[in-house]
Chains A and B, each alone.
Chain A
Amino acid sequence: MFSAPPATINGADNYISPDPLTAREFGEAEMETILDGDDTELPEITLPGAPIPEGQVEEWQKSRNMGFVMDPVIARGIAWFDAKPGQDGHATKEDRTLYPTTTRVGDEWSDNYKGFVAEAFATTLGPQAAEDLTQRFADFIESIKHYREEIRKDVDIVEAEPLDDAYSIALCIYAVYFHNGAAGQSGFFGSQSTYEVRQPLVEWVNVSEQQPSVELGKEVMSQTPPVQHKDFWKYIYQLVCRGMLKQASHCLHNSGAGEVDPSCQETLEQTIDILSRYPQGPGNVSFYFRQWHNSISTVQSKLLKINDAKIQKGLTTLLQVLAGDEDAIMGTNHTWYDALVTQQQYVDPCDSRMKGYYDAAVANYPVDTFTVWEAGASHAIKGSLLLAIETLENCDSVIAALVSNMCYDAGLLNGYGAANPAALPDYHLTNLALQCIGYDNLINVGIEVLQKLRDVAPARQILSLLLPRLPYDSAREIDWAIKKCKQNGLVEVEAEILQTLAQKAIHNNNNLMGLCMFAKNGNIAALRYHCWKLFKNALVAESPVEGDKSLADYVKDPASVSDVPAEVAECIAPYAVLTEYFNLRRSGQLVKSSEYLLALFEFPLLPTEYLGLLIHQLINYVSPISQQFNFSTSQFMTLLSAFDKWDKSQGTPAFEQGEELIKDMVDHSSDQNDWRKTFKIHELVMSELRLARTSVATMSSLKGLGGR
């Protein structure tokens, strides 16, 4: 998990939120210290197929070392063994093996959790997230609740503990800062005219620690009469303190107190009536609450008429609690949070009183700082929101990230003295995004989270690293990537993606698509190169490129394919002519095919290295015996000029490349009896050149003679 912010020195108000991106460095003084780790505290996994026998590391390290490389995208890597210098020797099976492994150690997200992350993102940051912050937080709480219920089916309580703690702290922050539309308005402790915090506060306490227990309830109410159970009144007080007034009324009604002491019946019924009339709100309940308190004093005046001392004491204390008597409240509760919510409900439910109630509660019952949810909630209630988020992060970094982001949106992170209050949520969201992009199926979530950062610089940098590395297999995915680049001003990244996609298309034999992408990306050099490469491949194979129907359709009829840039049409021309040449030759139209072949010699930018291959093709047409090929004088001149150019290039890289291509062509021939295979390549090249030159010269002479 990601680490927490450093602890504060003087409490929350002095906490300066460190900006992980721009603030000065922390801990410079310790930089030179060699940090000696203690492995016993670190999460450790064993490499799948771990090759070193237990206890044999020292023996192993005498001759071997370990290599490891991380996957460039996902959180995994590959380990292997290599030899120590001078220890090569025989390679064992283990030496010849690779060991893939995850690099998530101790923080691997389960599928359930990944589902929760996706849902939590959608609830709080996605396009469907509620506009209203309170509603958004409430939806988020529901997501956590749902996930918590899911995992409780599968894992034991201990494993779910951090989530329970996180849920409790998040719920407390919601209760204190976001309840009923309070987000960003009532501020830190609510206003003097709102009475909304008590209900979510009670809910928070009830979720965090279930009291009274179901077992106690069953035990008490199964006694006859229940009122005589030793814990009856304790049970009633707990119900009342936890806001379960209906249940308390029901228990009092069925307590059997009236049968035990008929003198309490009237007071009992009036107490039950008081419980049922507790002013729940919503809205400003100040007036109703005062009226309700007054009605309690009426009932209290009748307590002395009760004969049974235990019943009298029980009802007296209960009415004191309801009347907001601080001593009674502190006496009936045993924790600060119970004391807090009891005061909030029965002293005066005004939101602005909460801080006073909290102070009184912790003065009587200190916060157990070793209980995570208590510590976190306590920070939240006393106004140390940053510390609350820090505690939350120790439980669950995802929940912490989303909560801190909503707190920032509500303006709750202002006023902590930080130069940039957005640094904290940005830090959390960046970490969340980085964790997400380590999982194949959460990469999209990670990218969307990055889009929410207020400081766009890290988002741009991460996206510039990540976007080019994602495999885009459909037009929709490509459009999405381009859109992300445009949104983030990543012009170079966009070009890199298009360039890579073009290369990929070419590699996958979708040549026309690749060429169009090069053209649209403005990379004319690449377009030219690949067009000539197609030309070369066809010449070597002595056939048009196979398996690319789009390209075949296009060169046959350019009008049949739409959206092809003009640059492609221009650059593909030599290949188109060559294709037509091969097609005509294959269909036996030799004379017509010769015209296309001659046209190729006339391309002004024809690379020299291809001349050898073209001359090889020409051999079939330049027999002086044959009269069917009627070349013009200028065509003879073009050919003779090409022969000279090829001849003169001997000793240059172009000629060597040309020879290499002819070798490839000969090798490519599937005919084992191909006569060309009996020649050394250079001999073949030179003999073909001599033959072509002689034949063309003869034909030229004959034509000249005939002309005379």
Chain B
Amino acid sequence: MKPFNTGHEELVHDVAYDFYGRRIATCSSDTTVKVFDRNDSTGEWDISDSWKAHDASIIKVCWANPEFGKVLATCSHDSTIKIWEENIREKQNSGKRWKRVATITDHKGPIYDLAFSPSHCGLKLASISTDGQFKIHEALDPNAISSWTNIFETNTLSSAPSRQLQSSFCLSWGKSRFSKEYVVACALEQSYIYQRQENGKYTQTGQLPAHGSIIRDISWAPSIGRGYQLIATACKDGLVRIFKIEEPLTESGQLQVSLINQFDDHKGDVWRVSWNLTGTILSSAGDDGRVRLWKSTYNKEFQCVGIVSAEQKHDAIED
């Protein structure tokens, strides 16, 4: 595994794997999106296409489930979300291979995060902007991805955040096809879990306990055989937190949320958390220049099982 230059001219803000882990999309302050394909024979990443996608920094990029085709979504400081579909009739690296099929313009501020729902929930796209507006759009006909309808919106902030202070907004969908449809949205230090009701409306059905500072990232774990679900957060207060979410017994009940682990090993801000396929290993990246890998033990406590360090060490084992 070798590092490779993305070709972006500015900072890379996000990297997203496709559903199979065979492709990645990157986005940058240079207003472009790039898609790379993994070369199975060399293991290297080959650029497939690059194009100018927005008029300002692109903050996040995400892939739709392949059930809906080769579809990407991007969000930007320009307050728009754009949906892109790959057209294989266009040549690779032509800059035309990804065609914009829709633009969502109903956010009023820079958009910090977005994510497609798991496919069993339909073709939905959740997004959150710096004014705290959390929205869910849906392609009512999943085949016609050019048409998106706003099906839910709520303000997660009582007042706009001060421009002088750092802010952060993030979200994550519940992954389990065996439970109800959930999505969690974070605005500054708060995070709210929304559940889709049988009438199709979304209601707040839980809240993570307040964090000591702004939440940089949140990730809902895939669920395997657990009678509960897990959510991990990366926080500016230096903690990686793992919460246990239990579904209420009654239809109207609130989710039971409890903190099961918190770790301060990064000794500084934590920026990203990400689960593996089965929700058994959590990665966290922090200010110590390290990626820490957390694994659930037999007694369901998480513990750090390994570190990937970005700091050069002459006596370390290079992968």
Contacts and interface: CB of A to CB of B under 8 A. Distances in A.
A466 B277 contact: yes
A373 interface: no
B200 interface: no
B1 A105 contact: no
B299 interface: yes
A480 B277 CA distance: 21
Given A35-B303, A96-B7, A102-B1, A45 B316 contact: yes
Contacts of B271: 65-67, 82
Given A72-B17, A97-B3, A461-B178, A103 B276 contact: yes
A107 B275 CA distance: 18
Contacts of A54: 311-314
Interface in B117-169: 119-120, 141-144, 146-147, 166
A99 B3 contact: yes
Given A65-B271, A70-B274, A91-B9, A52 B298 contact: no
B301 A96 contact: no
Contacts of B318: 45-46, 48, 50
Contacts of A503: 66-70
B310 to A, nearest CB: 5
Interface stretch (A17-25, A152-160, A262-270, A281-289): A17-25
B29 A88 contact: yes
Given A57-B288, A525-B143, A45 B308 contact: yes
A52 B309 CA distance: 9
B8 interface: yes
A120 B227 CA distance: 31
A313 to B, nearest CB: 54
B306 interface: yes
Given A66-B272, A71-B21, A101-B308, A96 B8 contact: yes
Nearest to A80: B12
Give the most central of B8, B12, B227, B275: most A CB within 10 Å: B12
B201 interface: no
B13 interface: yes
A270 to B, nearest CB: 58
A526 B143 contact: yes
Contacts of B146: 657
Interface string B275-311: 1111011011111111111010111110111111111
B299 A27 contact: yes
B307 A34 contact: no
Given A103-B293, A503-B67, A529-B143, A34 B285 contact: no
A65 B309 contact: no
A462 B224 contact: yes
A78 interface: yes
B11 A95 contact: yes
B183 interface: no
Interface in A67-81: 67-81
Interface in B236-277: 239, 258-265, 268-269, 271-272, 274-277
B22 interface: yes
A72 B21 contact: yes
B26 to A, nearest CB: 7
Contacts of A20: 298, 300
A76 B17 CA distance: 11
A402 to B, nearest CB: 17
Contact of B262 (A2, A34, A42): A34
Interface string A18-55: 10111001110011101111010011111111111111
Interface stretch (A492-500, A632-640, A644-652): A492-500
Interface stretch (A234-242, A364-372, A504-512): A504-512
Nearest to B86: A507
A78 B278 contact: no
B283 to A, nearest CB: 5
Interface string A89-124: 001010111111111111100000000000000000
Interface stretch (A3-11, A225-233, A326-334, A615-623): A3-11
Given A76-B1, A461-B223, A492-B177, A103 B281 contact: yes
Contacts of B166: 85
Contacts of A508: 88
Interface in B1-31: 1-22, 24, 26, 29
B206 interface: no
Given A93-B5, A461-B178, A105 B20 contact: no
17 contacts: A3-B303, A26-B300, A42-B307, A45-B309, A45-B317, A50-B312, A51-B310, A53-B311, A55-B311, A61-B288, A66-B287, A67-B285, A85-B166, A88-B10, A101-B291, A496-B119, A506-B69
Given A70-B17, A653-B147, 10 more contacts: A21-B227, A44-B309, A72-B277, A99-B3, A105-B293, A462-B225, A470-B20, A492-B120, A496-B119, A526-B142
Interface of A: 2-6, 18, 20-22, 25-27, 30-32, 34-37, 39, 42-57, 60-61, 65-83, 85, 88, 91, 93, 95-107, 427, 430, 434, 437-438, 455, 457-459, 461-462, 464-466, 468-471, 492-493, 496, 499-500, 503-504, 506-509, 525-526, 528-530, 537, 653, 657
